[in-house]
Structure 1
Amino acid sequence: MDLKENLEKLYNEISEAKESSNFNRDVKLIAVSKTHPVEMINEFHKLGLNDFGENKVQELISKFDEVNGEINFHLIGNLQTNKVKYIYNKVKLIQSLDRIKLAKEIDKRAKADDISVDCLIQINIGEEESKSGILYEDTEKFIYELQEYESINVKGLMAIAPNTGDELLLRKLFEKMNKMFEKLSSNNFDRVEMKYLSMGMSNDFKLAIKEGSNMIRVGSKLFGNRNYN
């Protein structure tokens, strides 16, 4: 598999999506490296990629010390409270903050180390029972509650759209996310900055970019099919 070719092709597709978007936003690429070996991460790093997304804490930790150079890991999967201690000081961004119990644990660990942890609030935009995330209408209330936890910086919003071929539905959901993102961009909350709108994966990132996404999480288009062995 030619990783350089995969990356160049993806960059071209991102450029095309940006050109057909009404939003002039730079798009940050998170390469979803879950189930793929460290060698592939190092290869992509040589090609200029610095940000990699992992779903599972254990896998992230096992790769953390093996990668070459300065690599930013993003935790993009559901984070259990009892696993926070392993990664709170290792990740660039926790993209799946979705409950106060989790915020409390992150804050406690960060406070003890006198550091801040950057997080995205995960919204369950499709209201799917199988997915994590807060309800869309609870976003502002959740941010208000997070004000109590001074070691957490909210850097934006994250959503995983339903796995569907219904482009109309996807555009509608992405548009809805962007509305919340723009609304919160003029907020007066402490430690809340709408820097990233993380939405769009291998199968729907073009639509997401068209509707305002400035951070996409792409795995199979870069790494090929996942290896679950």
Structure 2
Amino acid sequence: MSNKTSELADRAARVREDLADAALRAGRKAEDVTLVAVSKLHPASAIRELAGWGQVDFGENYVQESMAKQEELADLDVKWHFIGGLQSNKAKFVAGNFELVHSVDSRKLAQALHKKASSLGVVQDILLQVNIAEEVQKSGISVENLPELAESVMEMEGVRLVGLMTMPPFFNDPEGARPVFARLRELREALEKQLGKPLPHLSMGMTGDFVPAVEEGATLVRIGTRIFGQRPPR
């Protein structure tokens, strides 16, 4: 066991402890929240080390980098999440290769994933990314246009809508993000009624604000820096 391996495992364990505490405060079970370790720009060797300590879910942002890692780590029993911005012309590389795509924000992208998944004979699970704070520099469908996008996605057999994702503005105090997380939960509840189907997942919360996210109902938290340390420059 190397020091690096121990350090990664210890960091992940501390995150899980904080995650479990937040879940219990909200009257939830720790196992209802999945820790997605965001491994973008970190080497495949770090993923292999952390997987050896029981981490299952890993989040990647860049198609080419992620595909190379998946090939190198094909022997591992892990689940890959695509969490970054995705152009529709790259959807063909993503459909069928990820457990979950968190960042669908347009009909065009959903259709591209549907088309590729259908050609492979699979169904790709997706989340709709919502830009609740309407930040111009961030991806995501507007709150206003979310119901229409959700309805159109429901007509596509190659994708399965299972929930929502958001990225709040940065706040020095993580409590500042709480209203955004609460709003995403409310939007999910309204969509479930509109669509007449359960949407089990809320992907929200990162290193700096995952505690209020869990308290507000997150089922997937995306933690990178606190586990892997600072990302190397791309």
The structure where helix makes up a greater share of residues is 2
The CA deviation at 1:227 is: 0.9
- What amino acid is the match of 1:196? H
Q: Report the counterpart of residue 202 of structure 2 in structure 1.
A: 197
Tell me the equivalent position of 1:228.
233
Distance in 1, matches of 2:44 and 2:179, equals: 37
Q: What percentage of residue pairs aligned between the two structures are identical?
A: 34
> What displacement does 1:166 show?
4.5
Which of 214, 222, 228 does residue 217 from structure 1 map onto? 222
In structure 2, the residue matched to 1:31 is: 37
CA contact (8 A) 1:23 1:211 kept: no
1:155-176: CA deviation from partner (whole Å, max 9, x where unpaired): 1111111111244531111111
Structure 2-normalised TM-score? Answer: 0.91
Distance 2:51 2:174 in 1: 33
CA-CA distance at 1:18 after TM superposition: 1.2
- Taking structure 1 as the reference length, what is the TM-score of the superposition? 0.93
2: CA distance, partners of 1:80 / 1:181 = 24
Q: 1:130 aligns with which of 129, 137, 140?
A: 137
Superposition RMSD in Å: 1.6
- Look up the equivalent residue of 2:71 and give its one-letter code: D
SS in 1 for 2:200: strand
Report what 1:179 is aligned to: 186
Q: Deviations over 1:44-69 (max 9, x none)?
A: 11111111000110111110111141
Give CA-to-partner distance per residue, 1:20-78, whole Å, 9 cap, x none: 22555711010000000001101111111111000110111110111141221111001
Q: Structure 2 unaligned segments of length 5 or more: list them.
A: none
Matched ranges for 1:72-83 at <5 A = 72-83=79-90
How many residues align structurally?
Answer: 227
Is 1:63 the equivalent of 2:80? no
8 Å Cα contact 2:16/2:35 also seen in 1: no
| Aligned equivalents of 1:121, 1:64: Cα separation in 2 | 24
Whether 1:140 and 2:143 are equivalent positions in the alignment is no
Q: Deviations over 1:161-213 (max 9, x none)?
A: 11112445311111111111223334545xx5412100000000001011111
